[in-house]
Amino acid sequence: MIIAIDGPAGTGKSTIAKMLAEKLNITFLNSGGFYRTLTMAVLDAGVDYKDEKATLEFCKKQKIEYTKEGHFILNGTDVTAHLHDDRITANTSQVSAIVEIRHLVNDLMREITKSLSIVCEGRDMTTVVFPNAEVKVYLDASAEVRAQRRFDQGVSDMTFEEIKAAIEKRDEMDKNKKEGSLKIAKDALYIDTSNLTIDNVCAIIEKQIS
């Protein structure tokens, strides 16, 4: 079974997908983490991602492993704890906009999850990567609410206003990608999470599964 969840940053996708995967005892797939891991590799190596060809060639040589616990191993090192650093968050949309890099990541994710039951989340899980998913959900919330959630997580050094502006910039980039742009799939259940708790959202999705 594939449960696919898409939506913009700060809608609770990862927390919800992880909780559902634990409850159902199936694999959690965090697609943004693959793009974040590649972005870290690109930045650390000083590769200029505006040079798409060079970036793709570099990314092809990186070894990414994804553990059962949802950790990302880049060339043998567990990088999970640093994937939400501001410098990675600020540059991942640009790296993930490179079409060939999307194909690389999509192939890797499909390979890792083939013959597994999964709960996956991202921007194009319901539309591009797993269009035949049995359950499709689109999570949404206002930019104000999403920025407040990120601010409350305390993982960023930015002010609330800076976080809100960064979220709006990422929304814009994520919705305008050549491929894999953020869209609401026709057959997805749309949930506005602005006034819902994580448990409320999980309960709505669980109802959809049963």
Binding residues: 7-15
Output the smallest distance, CB 159 to ligand DC, in A.
19
Q: How many CA atoms lie within 13 A of 117 on its CB side?
A: 11
Among 37, 80, 96, 126, binds ligand DC (CB under 6 A): 96
Among residues 109, 88, 111, 84, the alpha carbon closest in space to that of 38 is found at 88
174 binds ligand DC (CB under 6 A): yes
> Could you tell me which residues come within 8 angstroms of residue 64 by beta carbon, excluding any fewer than 6 positions away?
34, 37, 38, 72, 73, 74, 108
For residue 181, which of 191, 170, 192, 195 has the smallest C-alpha distance? 170
Binding mask 43-82 for ligand DC (x = CB under 6 A): ----------------------------------------
Helix 198-209, helix 13-24: angle, nearest 10: 50
The two three-digit tokens of residue 184, written as one number: 């609401």
Question: Rule CB under 6 A: is residue 36 a binding residue for ligand DC?
Answer: yes
Rule CB under 6 A: say whether 170 interacts with ligand DC: yes
191 vs 140: CA distance, rounded Å: 6
Size of the site for ligand DC (CB under 6 A): 14
Question: Taking CB under 6 A as the rule, does residue 35 contact ligand DC?
Answer: yes
- Residue type at 138? Y
Give the nearest distance from C-beta 33 to ligand DC in angstroms.
6
Cβ proximity to ligand DC, 159 vs 176, nearer residue: 176
- Binding of ligand DC by 37 (CB under 6 A): no
> Which spans of this chain sit near ligand DC (rule: CB under 6 A)?
9, 31-32, 35-36, 92-93, 96, 122-124, 170, 174, 180
